[in-house]
């Protein structure tokens, strides 16, 4: 197999499956269930995960792969994110297989869009050329814009989709402008040459401005404050499984780009961007947690919580290169497990129509749905960061990295914030385990949890628990995931 | 029995028990109750077995189990007990049984309740045996979760704020502690309690702290104080030390009485255990440099705790504050012990007296407070939920046995010679008086006030005219007497022959005494 083909194998598998799903969609008569398409999509994501695993074997044996004139780099770092994205997509698809209450005609699009989005995200993590990153970013964004508005005909869904689209395109424009500026400053848009060009650039101010622009663009994607205002509205209107997906996988991809760009591309400017990262981190943690305190809608509450978690993740960036990569990778993985899990539970509980949404609606849920309540409770405890859950080790990892590099204040602010966060997670948890009031869960129909959804829930719960009890395997993997700027990339790509 | 992982087994048993109770108890509440008692008795048997096999001449750790957990981060699965750990294991096992007994009348979601109690027990065992910070911290934090649900689901009318307050307060303390330990980890590259203590005692901790985290240009001494303050906060909230106690009265009052027993009998000891296991060996110099405020805190805990108890009219609140007061004596003992550096024989004897008094008091208070709350639970059930002093009166006429047995427990709490409370408080005062004279003198005021409010309780509940609605008040049944008798017997036993316990503590106390160097 040629190197180029091998380098894009997971993306190729996903694209082919996505196209197949689109082609087969009209074949199925209207009114018939779209489930077979869902199974096809699941098969596709499974295969792409296997493809990423195959890449890992190759990389372990032969070292880093580069392809397409050194614009794509396959190293343990990108494979880690490939595997993570494939896993999130797989779990999301499993969980949303029976999400649509009646066989609606556009269900096929849903599965295809999830796959196409994943293609873009994976592409982002393996590109070392910023224009390629931009293409990946757009592919993933456009899919998620549509997915956000998937509960058609509802005002909140349209609001969600339009808001996400308008603000999102605005933010990607910032990213693109940053890329243009960095080209102006260094003469390249490729990570390795950027680093080389920065050493001899005569316009460092332009480069700093470029880094700030890229940070704004990606800061929007990871919903870091102050670029977070869209998050609560979009999460509230979007379907619950989609929120689970878009609060984890695209964020992981954006964080991967940020890690590569900042640490491999612009290490010369470390002193400048570290300050920006600190500001973003503190603002995200504080605004996210304080905002969540006042929320009544559970999805909004989790949206603010996701802003705060973006802040914790940014704290990882203040460590040394290796610590930052290890901490950020570990945290994205644990956050993906617990947050996808939490949203899966929400989607299973309230279904496509989303009948239960506010904290009051959850009052007394434990009596009616003990299993689901226990699962949701477990994910919430992990989000708090209680030991024996992945959340604890994630926080531990991130904050010890920050302290190690002398960012004591950030550690203090972060841990104080996780104390504040306790409050609102507990408010939800307390409601679930309260005695039901007459108008709370009593009238809500019990939706049966189907086998695929049960598998998805079990997978997320086991991952969260496993990362809390035996984090060794993942720690080992992320400790050596630090991407290097390979010689092949450092050379200027030949002009064609 | 060295090769066999007894301590892991002890921790795992209640977890298995919780699972079994949840599954097998789903059909019948009765089965859930008896199964949970079965597992708790099993745990007690293992604890007694450990007691029997314990080598009293060894001051260090016994039954050590050590495995790598996350080698990259120096996290180990490391267990072991010394005299202090052993006595706390035994106490937890006994208090859990008392708690189960007092919770017998719970009717709502029985299997879940009993499973949660067993989970708390498992976390207590875990915390009292762990020797690696992360391993220990896991159980320390995890313990809060079942306790939170016990308060939240089965508590009194204001249970939600009480449960949240309890969890958030303790979490805030733990977070500060975690931060301090992270800083120490970065300096010393270890999470092991014993290694950290060795490094601190050889004077290498402060320089490496200063080297690894030069924060705000603090001198190594000040940096040491900041790190100490973080760890101290974690334990001070848990014990609690006044002024970090505000969560306690609400929590104890709103929690179902069975849970209050666990909270006061065993969980409050986790804080004191931390003082003895972590603060004294690692931070003795820092404690000494801020000793005056610390001693004032101990005095405040003793005196204000007892004064507040006197001002209450709700039985559970009275004993909640009384609990604060009694643990204040332990603080006095610990703080007095680190007052003077040096190792002349007289100083060592005084220190040893104060520290063995402290450890004895931890055990005694656990037994006594748990038994008293059991009696409160009995009064509560028989009077249909009444807890106010004014609700009772003259009960001695109808229930002489109840009055007698509860009287013994109350007198033990008051410190009557011949009962267990006296010996430990006497030892603390004997050891602390020459070391911290003024603080000890002030603390004696607490003794006096305790006597006043406890006699007041006895008088208001058992003497005076019998209220109309209690005319059918039942005395303790034969079964109840039989269940309560061991606890009462234990009070006499430890009061008359404290050597039973002290013999197991001696070697540990000696070792701890010798580690206090500057």
Q: A201: phi > 0 → left, psi -120 to 50 → alpha, else beta; which?
A: beta
User: Taking the C-alpha atoms of A419, A421, A423 and A428 in order, what is their torsion angle to the nearest 10 degrees?
Assistant: -150
> According to the model, what pLDDT value does residue B201 have?
87
> According to the model, what pLDDT value does residue A2 have?
84
Interface-testing mutation among B115, B149, B178, B210, with chain A (most A C-beta atoms within 10 A): B178
pLDDT for A271 beyond 80: yes
CB B162 within 8 A of CB B155: yes
B388 bridge partner residues: B314
**B58 φ, ψ (degrees, to nearest 5):** -100, 125
Search chain A and give the residue with CA nearest B173: A419
pLDDT for A486 beyond 70: no
CB pairs under 8 A between A and B: 84
SS3 A297: strand
**CA neighbor of A338 nearest in space, from A164, A243, A465, A152:** A465
- A481 or A297, higher pLDDT: A297
Interface-testing mutation among B180, B213, B237, with chain A (most A C-beta atoms within 10 A): B213
Q: A386: phi > 0 → left, psi -120 to 50 → alpha, else beta; which?
A: beta
- A230 or B107, higher pLDDT: A230
SS3 B77: strand
In this complex, which of A393, A408, A430 lies closest to B213 when CB atoms are compared? A408
CB A74 within 8 A of CB A7: yes
Cα(A77)–Cα(A425) distance, integer angstroms: 32
Average pLDDT over chain A, rounded to an integer:
89
pLDDT for A441 beyond 70: no
User: Does the beta carbon of A475 lie under 8 angstroms from any beta carbon of chain B?
Assistant: yes
> According to the model, what pLDDT value does residue A442 have?
57
CB A406 within 8 A of CB B213: yes
Contact B167 A396 (CB under 8 A): no
> According to the model, what pLDDT value does residue B186 have?
85
Search chain A and give the residue with CA nearest B175: A415
Interface-testing mutation among B122, B141, B166, with chain A (most A C-beta atoms within 10 A): B141
Contact B168 A423 (CB under 8 A): yes
> According to the model, what pLDDT value does residue A443 have?
59
Band (A263; pLDDT cuts 50, 70, 90):
very high
> According to the model, what pLDDT value does residue A101 have?
63
DSSP-derived letter for residue A360 is G
> According to the model, what pLDDT value does residue A259 have?
94
Cα(B400)–Cα(B469) distance, integer angstroms: 17
User: Does the beta carbon of A403 lie under 8 angstroms from any beta carbon of chain B?
Assistant: yes
pLDDT in tens, A374-391: 999 999 999 998 888 999
Q: What share of chain A is helix, strand, coil (3-state, %, to 5)?
A: 75, 0, 20
pLDDT in tens, A24-66: 988 888 777 888 899 999 999 999 999 999 999 999 898 888 8
Interface-testing mutation among A368, A426, A478, A481, with chain B (most B C-beta atoms within 10 A): A426
> According to the model, what pLDDT value does residue A367 have?
82
Among residues of chain B, what percentage have pLDDT more than 90? Answer: 58
Domain ranges across chain A: 3-495
Search chain B and give the residue with CA nearest A418: B175
pLDDT for B1 beyond 80: no
List of chain A residues whose C-beta atoms are within 8 Å of the C-beta of residue B175: 415-416, 418-419
| Cβ neighbours of residue B138 closer than 8 Å, sequence gap 6 or more | A387, A388, A392, B126, B130
Search chain A and give the residue with CA nearest B215: A408
**CA neighbor of A67 nearest in space, from A139, A13, A9:** A9
pLDDT for B93 beyond 80: yes
pLDDT in tens, A128-186: 999 999 999 999 999 999 999 888 878 888 889 999 999 999 999 999 999 999 999 99
The span from the first CA to the last CA of chain A, in angstroms, equals 24
User: Does the beta carbon of B186 lie under 8 angstroms from any beta carbon of chain A?
Assistant: yes
User: Does the beta carbon of A320 lie under 8 angstroms from any beta carbon of chain B?
Assistant: no
CB B422 within 8 A of CB B278: no
Give the position of tokens 């689970």: A244
Contact A387 B70 (CB under 8 A): no
> According to the model, what pLDDT value does residue A86 have?
96
The span from the first CA to the last CA of chain B, in angstroms, equals 37
Contact B73 A475 (CB under 8 A): yes
- A-facing residues of B in 52-111 (CB < 8 A) are 69-73
* DSSP β-ladder status, B75-81 and B62-70: antiparallel
Element containing residue A72 per DSSP (H, E): strand A72-74
SS3 A300: helix
> According to the model, what pLDDT value does residue B213 have?
66
Distance to chain A for B81, nearest Cα, Å: 22
ipTM for the assembly: 0.84
> According to the model, what pLDDT value does residue A174 have?
95
DSSP-derived letter for residue A357 is -
Segment B388-412 shows an average pLDDT of 89
List of chain B residues whose C-beta atoms are within 8 Å of the C-beta of residue A400: 73, 182, 185-186
pLDDT in tens, A338-355: 999 999 999 888 877 777
Segment A61-82 shows an average pLDDT of 91
Distance to chain A for B313, nearest Cα, Å: 29
A436-445, A474-483, B248-257: least confidently modelled range: A436-445
Contact B149 A433 (CB under 8 A): yes
**A354 φ, ψ (degrees, to nearest 5):** 50, 65
- B-facing residues of A in 4-63 (CB < 8 A) are none
Search chain B and give the residue with CA nearest A473: B70
pLDDT in tens, B416-458: 998 998 999 999 999 999 999 999 999 999 999 999 999 999 9
Search chain A and give the residue with CA nearest B155: A434
**CA neighbor of A132 nearest in space, from A164, A169, A175:** A175
Average pLDDT over chain B, rounded to an integer:
90
pLDDT for A337 beyond 90: yes
> According to the model, what pLDDT value does residue A275 have?
93
User: Does the beta carbon of A408 lie under 8 angstroms from any beta carbon of chain B?
Assistant: yes
List of chain B residues whose C-beta atoms are within 8 Å of the C-beta of residue A471: 70
Element containing residue B205 per DSSP (H, E): helix B205-212
pLDDT in tens, B143-169: 999 999 999 889 888 888 899 889 888
CB A97 within 8 A of CB A35: yes
> According to the model, what pLDDT value does residue B518 have?
62
> According to the model, what pLDDT value does residue A224 have?
94
CB B92 within 8 A of CB B258: no
Among residues of chain A, what percentage have pLDDT more than 70? Answer: 95
A279-288, A356-365, B134-143: least confidently modelled range: A356-365
- A-facing residues of B in 122-181 (CB < 8 A) are 134, 137-139, 141-142, 144-145, 148-149, 152-153, 160, 163-164, 167-168, 171-172, 175-176, 178-179
> According to the model, what pLDDT value does residue B4 have?
83
List of chain B residues whose C-beta atoms are within 8 Å of the C-beta of residue A418: 175
């Amino acid at each position: 197999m040629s190197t180029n083909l091998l380098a894009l194998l997971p993306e190729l598998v996903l694209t082919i499956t996505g196209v197949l799903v689109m082609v087969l969609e009209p074949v199925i008569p209207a009114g018939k269930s779209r489930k077979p398409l869902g199974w096809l999509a699941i098969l596709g994501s499974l295969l792409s995960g296997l493809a990423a695993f195959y890449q890992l074997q190759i990389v372990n044996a032969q070292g880093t792969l580069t392809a397409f004139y050194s614009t794509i780099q396959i190293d343990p770092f990108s494979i880690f994110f490939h595997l993570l994205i494939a896993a999130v997509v797989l779990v999301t698809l499993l969980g949303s297989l029976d999400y649509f209450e009646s066989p609606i005609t556009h269900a096929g699009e849903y599965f295809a869009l999830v796959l196409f989005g994943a293609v873009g995200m994976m592409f982002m993590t393996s590109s070392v050329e910023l224009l390629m990153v931009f293409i990946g970013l757009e592919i993933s964004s456009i899919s998620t814009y549509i997915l956000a508005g998937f509960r058609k005909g509802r005002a909140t869904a349209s609001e969600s989709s339009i808001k996400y689209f308008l603000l999102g395109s605005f933010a990607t424009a910032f990213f693109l402008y940053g890329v243009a500026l960095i080209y102006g400053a260094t003469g390249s848009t490729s990570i390795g040459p950027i680093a080389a060009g920065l050493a001899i650039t005569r316009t460092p101010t332009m480069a700093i401005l470029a880094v700030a622009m890229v940070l704004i663009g990606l800061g929007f994607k990871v919903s870091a404050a102050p670029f977070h205002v869209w998050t609560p509205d979009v999460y509230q209107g979007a379907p619950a499984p989609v929120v689970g997906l878009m609060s984890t996988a695209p964020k992981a991809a954006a964080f991967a780009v940020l890690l590569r760009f900042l640490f491999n591309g612009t290490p010369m400017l470390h002193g400048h961007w570290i300050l920006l990262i600190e500001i973003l981190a503190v603002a995200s943690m504080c605004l996210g947690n304080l905002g969540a305190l006042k929320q009544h809608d559970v999805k909004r509450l989790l949206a603010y919580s996701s802003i705060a978690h973006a802040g914790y993740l940014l704290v990882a960036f203040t460590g040394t290169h290796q610590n930052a990569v290890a901490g950020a990778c570990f945290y994205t993985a644990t956050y993906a497990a617990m947050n996808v899990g939490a949203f899966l539970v929400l989607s299973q509980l309230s279904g496509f129509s989303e009948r239960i949404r506010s904290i009051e609606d959850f009052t007394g849920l434990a009596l009616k749905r003990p299993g689901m309540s226990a699962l949701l409770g477990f994910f919430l405890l992990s989000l708090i960061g209680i030991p024996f859950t992945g959340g604890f080790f994630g926080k531990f990892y991130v904050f010890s990295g920050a302290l190690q590099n002398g960012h004591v204040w950030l550690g203090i602010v972060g841990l104080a914030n996780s104390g504040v966060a306790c409050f609102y997670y507990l408010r939800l948890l307390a409601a679930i385990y309260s005695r039901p009031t007459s108008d709370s869960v009593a009238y809500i129909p019990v939706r049966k949890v189907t086998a695929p959804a049960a598998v998805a829930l079990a997978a997320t719960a086991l991952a969260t628990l496993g990362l809390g009890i035996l984090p060794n395997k993942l720690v080992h993997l992320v400790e050596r995931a630090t991407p290097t700027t390979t010689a092949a990339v450092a050379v200027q790509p030949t002009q064609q | 029995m060295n090769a066999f992982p007894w301590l892991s087994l002890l921790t795992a048993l209640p977890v298995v028990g919780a699972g079994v109770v949840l599954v097998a108890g789903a059909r019948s509440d009765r089965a859930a109750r008896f199964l949970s008692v079965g597992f708790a008795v099993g745990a007690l048997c293992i604890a007694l077995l450990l007691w029997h096999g314990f080598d009293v001449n060894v001051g260090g750790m016994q039954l050590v189990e050590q495995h790598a957990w996350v080698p990259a981060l120096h996290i180990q699965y490391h267990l072991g007990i010394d005299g202090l750990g052993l006595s706390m294991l035994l106490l937890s096992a006994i208090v859990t049984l008392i708690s189960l007994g007092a919770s017998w009348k719970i009717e709502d979601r029985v299997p879940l309740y009993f499973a949660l109690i067993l989970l708390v027990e498992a976390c207590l065992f875990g915390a009292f045996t762990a020797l690696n910070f992360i391993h220990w911290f896991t159980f320390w934090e995890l313990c809060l979760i079942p306790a939170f649900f016990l308060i939240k689901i089965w508590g009194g009318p204001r249970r939600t704020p009480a449960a949240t307050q309890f969890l958030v307060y303790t979490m805030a303390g733990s977070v500060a502690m975690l931060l301090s330990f992270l800083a120490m980890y970065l300096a010393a590259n270890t999470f092991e309690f014993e290694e950290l203590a060795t490094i601190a005692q050889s004077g290498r901790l402060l320089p490496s702290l200063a080297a690894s985290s030069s924060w705000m240009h603090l001198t190594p001494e000040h940096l040491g104080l900041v790190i100490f303050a973080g760890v101290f906060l974690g334990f001070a909230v848990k014990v609690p030390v006044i002024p970090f106690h505000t969560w306690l009265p609400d929590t104890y009052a709103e929690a179902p009485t069975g849970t209050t027993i666990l909270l006061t009998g065993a969980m409050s000891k986790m804080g004191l255990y931390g003082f003895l296991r972590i603060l004294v060996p690692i931070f003795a110099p820092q404690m000494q440099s801020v000793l005056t405020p610390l001693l004032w805190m101990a005095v405040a805990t003793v005196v204000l705790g007892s004064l507040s108890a006197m001002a209450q009219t709700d039985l559970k609140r009275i004993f909640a504050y009384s609990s604060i007061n009694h643990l204040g004596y332990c603080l006095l003992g610990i703080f007095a012990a680190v007052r003077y550096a040096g190792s002349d024989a007289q100083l060592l004897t005084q220190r040893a007296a104060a520290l063995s008094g402290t450890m004895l008091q931890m055990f005694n208070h656990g037994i006594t407070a748990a038994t008293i709350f059991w009696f409160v639970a009995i009064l509560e059930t028989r009077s249909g939920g009444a807890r106010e002093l004014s609700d009772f009166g003259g009960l001695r006429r109808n229930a002489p046995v109840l009055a007698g047995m509860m009287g013994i427990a109350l007198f033990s709490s008051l410190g009557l010679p011949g009962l267990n409370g006296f010996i430990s408080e006497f030892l603390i005062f004997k050891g602390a008086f020459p070391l911290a004279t003024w603080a000890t003198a002030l603390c004696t005021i607490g003794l006096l006030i305790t006597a006043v409010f406890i006699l007041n309780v006895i008088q208001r509940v058992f003497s005076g005219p019998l209220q109309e609605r209690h005319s059918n008040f039942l005395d303790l049944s034969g079964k109840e007497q039989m269940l309560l008798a061991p606890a009462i017997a234990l009070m006499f036993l430890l009061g008359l022959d404290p050597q039973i316990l002290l013999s197991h503590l001696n070697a540990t106390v000696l070792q701890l005494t010798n580690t206090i160097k500057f």
